[in-house]
């Protein structure tokens, strides 16, 4: 099993995904060498959880200029400027405070940060994100963040949730996105759902994910 190459793993996993699902290779545990192998196997979306790591790897891979960079980890305000400059998508917009910060940076840098609203649909003290009630209350304020392009919701299930509950949680995320989309917002789009990791991505795809974020299953145990 461990003799399978990165390219073989990618081909095998990709074959199980519907064409509507975009595969983000989460490269947070690997070096630019493995990322280049993944790129050569057709990957163009990479996910990193730390701004500094992405900055270093982007420099090493600067000859590969058609990579789309995704931030998937919690973002601190003091790294937000760099994040806006490095990443094409920020999946971890997890509070009104960071949304406001990204909005200001978008105005200042004349760009439109593309963000996902990270939601927490299950109590989980380890995770950041909006609880449903709070998000519904904050939507008008988010809709006033004029420079942001809000693409959809991002969700991470708590560790150890069984598969029935995990599927229910992903379906709840899709329903919440549907509810939000049915309201009249000028800036908030709910086109995308960022959900599904190595352990649970088939359930996420079943529930309507449009971006899956896979690390371990593509790169192996490193
Ligand atoms: C690490 C991470 C992933 C990838 O996890 P794997 O289990 O390695 O597939 C996906 N999403 C987020 C937010 C992560 O932090």
Tell me which of 3.20.20.10, 3.40.50.300, 3.30.479.10, 3.40.225.10 is the CATH number of domain 3-219: 3.20.20.10
Q: How far is the CA of 215 from the centre of ligand 1 (A)?
A: 6
> How many angstroms separate the CA atoms of 73 and 216, rounded?
16
Q: What angle do CA 50, 18, 46 make, to 5 degrees?
A: 15
pTM for the complete prediction?
Answer: 0.96
| pLDDT tops 80 at residue 2 | no
Measuring from atom 6 of ligand 1, which residue has the nearest CA?
Answer: 215
Measuring from atom 14 of ligand 1, which residue has the nearest CA?
Answer: 72
pLDDT band at 221 (very low <50, low <70, confident <90, very high): confident
Q: Among the atoms of ligand 1, which is closest to the Cα of residue 217?
A: 9
Query: CB-based contacts of 192: which residues, under 8 Å, 6+ apart?
Result: 116, 151, 152, 153, 210, 211
> How many angstroms separate the CA atoms of 128 and 219, rounded?
26
| pLDDT tops 80 at residue 3 | no
Q: Among the atoms of ligand 1, which is closest to the Cα of residue 197?
A: 9
Beta carbons of 66 and 40 less than 8 angstroms apart: no
For ligand 1, is residue 13 a contact (CB within 6 Å)? no
DSSP notation for the chain: -TTS-HHHHHHHHHTTS-TTSEEEEE-TTS-HHHHHHHHHTT--EEEES-HHHHHHHHHHTTT-TTPEEEE-S---GGGHHHHHHH-SEEEEE-SHHHHHHHHHHHHHTT---EEEEEE--S--TT--SB-HHHHHHHHHHHHT-TT-EEEEEEE-PPTT--HHHHHHHHHHHHHHHHHHHTS--SSEEEEEEE---TTTHHHHHHTT-SEEEESHHHH---
Between 74 and 4, the higher pLDDT residue: 74
Please give the mean pLDDT across all residues of the chain. 96
For ligand 1, is residue 74 a contact (CB within 6 Å)? no
| pLDDT tops 80 at residue 1 | no
Q: Report, as an integer, the average pLDDT of 94-115.
A: 98
Q: How far is the CA of 139 from the centre of ligand 1 (A)?
A: 27
Q: What are 145-179's pLDDT values in tens digits? A: 999 999 999 999 998 999 999 999 999 999 999 99
Q: What are 33-92's pLDDT values in tens digits? A: 999 999 999 999 999 999 999 999 999 999 999 999 999 999 999 999 999 999 999 999
Q: Report, as an integer, the average pLDDT of 207-215.
A: 98
Q: How far is the CA of 19 from the centre of ligand 1 (A)?
A: 21
Domain boundaries, the chain: 3-219
Which residue from 9, 23, 49 has its CB within 8 A of the most atoms of ligand 1, so it is best to mutate? Answer: 49
Q: How far is the CA of 175 from the centre of ligand 1 (A)?
A: 23
| pLDDT tops 70 at residue 222 | no
For ligand 1, is residue 128 a contact (CB within 6 Å)? no
């Amino acid at each position: 099993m461990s003799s399978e190459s990165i390219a073989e793993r990618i081909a095998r996993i990709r074959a199980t995904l519907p064409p509507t699902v975009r595969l983000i290779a989460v490269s947070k545990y690997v070096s630019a060498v493995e990322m280049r192998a993944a790129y050569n196997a057709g990957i163009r979306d990479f996910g990193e959880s730390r701004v500094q790591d992405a900055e270093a790897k982007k420099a090493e891979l600067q000859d590969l200029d058609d990579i789309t960079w995704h931030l998937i980890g919690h973002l601190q305000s003091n790294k937000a400027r760099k994040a806006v400059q490095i990443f094409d998508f920020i999946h971890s917009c997890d509070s009104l405070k960071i949304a406001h910060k990204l909005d200001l940076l978008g105005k200042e840098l004349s760009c439109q940060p593309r963000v996902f609203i990270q939601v927490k649909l299950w109590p989980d003290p380890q995770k950041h994100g909006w609880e449903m009630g709070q998000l519904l209350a904050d939507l008008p304020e988010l809709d006033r963040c004029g420079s942001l392009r809000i693409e959809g919701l991002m969700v991470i299930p708590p560790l150890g949730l069984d598969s029935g509950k995990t599927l229910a949680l992903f379906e709840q995320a899709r329903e919440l996105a549907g509810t939000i989309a049915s309201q009249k917002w000028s800036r908030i789009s709910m086109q995308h759902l960022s959900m599904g990791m190595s352990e649970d991505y088939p359930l996420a795809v079943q529930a309507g994910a449009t971006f899956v974020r896979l690390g371990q299953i593509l790169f192996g145990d490193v």
